[in-house]
């Protein structure tokens, strides 16, 4: 079942102080920081695959619940079929994660929290966060009712659920990152847990920014609802454009940032970016009952371009120029495809200046993220104690 390892989980030193001693004995240290010993173990490929399949169950429950809140206005009960789908998916993840830990402790006599698989520490913590958020969410709904519209995405209990979700879904990715996974030579099959883990993680983050997710903000609907209520709809148009452009930047950071996150550790196999972009687009379109389904294919095609670019440019932090070029080109292709398709299907409602400028800002956003990920380490820094004091004025 287990691959025992003696690799350290982190390289953080422990100060030899009272505070350091307390930290070493804390739950935080035992879960995430304590150096691994021979008692630590890494999950196998099939462990991580089961994790992401249960995670997909949980994530689909979230998106179905989001669809229900958008489609069924006036929903005033916590006990719904879509909540049942969501929380049953959580229960499956919780039992699996805790089961991995308990079985390792029994089968390999690994004591205490060291039985948590390498990379799954935050995932196990996410189980408790999500469980706490779920109980709190039920109590919140019973006492304060069901939030309507955008308010639901800012509920304290929903934010706790979001943090728990991300940590649960990212656990297989963290496990592969810290495990013996090679950088190159992967197939889609061998890389599938990583692909699905990053896809589900990005999807959940996108879900909680749905109010800014540009393909979900159809111009003709905004115009029909709001412009007709005002003699002059200029201010409404400006608000629509500014929120749409802001959404483009958020969407660029989340989607392209998710892909860039993989590149320092792996050279993903061909098809990875296509799957990530295509599945995220499909899930986000599902929130609106697939009314924006025509925008799935340009996002998937942008992913295909990303796969081709990875094969030919080999972007990696060790090749910072190619890494940055890849990020900028991926953003350019993504938004030319999305905005162009949207304009053809329903009329974008933006002027050429806004379209061109928004694409430039999206490209610069991707480029900025790539530059931050490939900054050279600072060298030649002089310690303050070695800097000579300035000569006071008037002395010789």
- What pLDDT score was predicted for residue 372? 93
- What pLDDT score was predicted for residue 142? 61
Instruction: Read off the DSSP letter of residue 8.
Output: -
**Residues 308-342, buried b or exposed e (16+ Cβ, 10 A)?**
ebbeeeebbeeebebbbbbbbbbbbbbbebbbebb
Give Cα separations from 123 to 115, 179, 193, 195 (angstroms). 13, 16, 15, 17
- What pLDDT score was predicted for residue 307? 97
pLDDT tens-digit profile, the chain (396 residues): 445 544 433 333 344 455 555 545 554 444 444 434 445 678 889 999 999 999 999 999 999 887 776 666 655 555 677 778 888 999 999 999 988 888 777 766 666 666 788 889 899 999 999 888 888 877 766 666 666 567 677 778 888 889 999 999 999 999 999 988 888 989 999 999 999 999 999 999 999 888 888 776 654 444 444 444 444 545 666 777 787 888 899 999 999 999 999 999 999 999 999 999 999 999 998 887 788 888 899 999 999 999 999 999 999 988 999 999 999 999 999 999 999 898 888 777 778 888 899 999 999 999 999 999 998 766 665 565 555 655 554 454
| Pairwise CA distance, residues 54 & 202, whole Å | 16
- What pLDDT score was predicted for residue 37? 45
- What pLDDT score was predicted for residue 140? 67
In a 3-state reduction of DSSP, which class is residue 383? coil
| Pairwise CA distance, residues 344 & 295, whole Å | 11
What angle do the packed helices 320-346 and 234-262 form, to 10 degrees? 140
pTM: 0.80
Rounded-to-5 percentages of helix, strand, coil across the chain: 70, 0, 30
């Amino acid at each position: 079942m287990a691959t025992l390892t003696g690799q350290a989980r982190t390289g953080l030193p422990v100060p030899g102080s009272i505070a350091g001693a307390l930290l070493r004995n804390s739950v935080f240290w035992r879960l995430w920081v304590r150096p691994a010993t021979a008692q630590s173990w890494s999950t196998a490929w099939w462990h991580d695959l089961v994790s992401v399949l249960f995670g997909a169950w949980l994530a689909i429950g979230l998106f179905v619940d989001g669809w229900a809140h958008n489609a069924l206005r006036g929903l005033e009960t916590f006990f719904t079929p879509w909540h049942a789908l969501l929380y049953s998916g959580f229960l499956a993840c919780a039992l699996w994660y805790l089961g991995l830990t308990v079985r390792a402790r029994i089968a390999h006599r690994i004591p205490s929290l060291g039985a948590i698989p390498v990379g799954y520490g935050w995932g196990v913590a996410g189980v408790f966060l999500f469980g706490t958020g779920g109980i709190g969410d039920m109590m919140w709904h019973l006492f304060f009712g069901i939030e309507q519209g955008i308010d639901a995405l800012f509920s304290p209990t929903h934010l706790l659920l979001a943090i728990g979700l991300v940590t649960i879904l990212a656990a297989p990715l963290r496990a592969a990152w810290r495990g013996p996974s090679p950088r190159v030579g992967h197939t889609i099959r061998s890389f599938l847990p990583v692909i699905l883990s990053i896809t589900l993680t990005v999807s959940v983050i996108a879900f909680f920014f749905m109010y800014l997710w540009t393909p979900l903000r159809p111009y003709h609907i905004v115009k029909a609802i709001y412009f007709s209520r005002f003699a002059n709809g200029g201010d409404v148009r400006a608000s629509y454009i500014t929120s749409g452009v802001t959404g483009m930047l958020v969407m660029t950071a989340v989607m392209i940032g998710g892909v860039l996150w993989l590149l320092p550790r792996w050279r993903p196999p061909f098809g990875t970016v296509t799957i990530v972009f295509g599945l995220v687009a499909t899930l986000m379109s599902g929130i609106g009952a697939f009314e924006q389904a025509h925008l799935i294919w340009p996002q998937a095609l942008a992913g295909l371009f990303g796969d081709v670019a990875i094969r030919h440019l080999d972007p990696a932090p060790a090749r910072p120029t190619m890494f940055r070029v890849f990020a900028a080109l991926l953003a350019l292709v993504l938004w030319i495809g999305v905005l162009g398709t949207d304009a053809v299907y329903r009329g974008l409602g933006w002027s050429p200046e806004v379209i061109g400028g928004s694409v430039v800002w999206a490209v610069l956003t991707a480029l900025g993220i790539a530059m931050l990920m490939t900054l050279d380490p600072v060298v030649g820094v002089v310690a303050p104690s070695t800097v000579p004091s300035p000569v006071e004025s008037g002395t010789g």
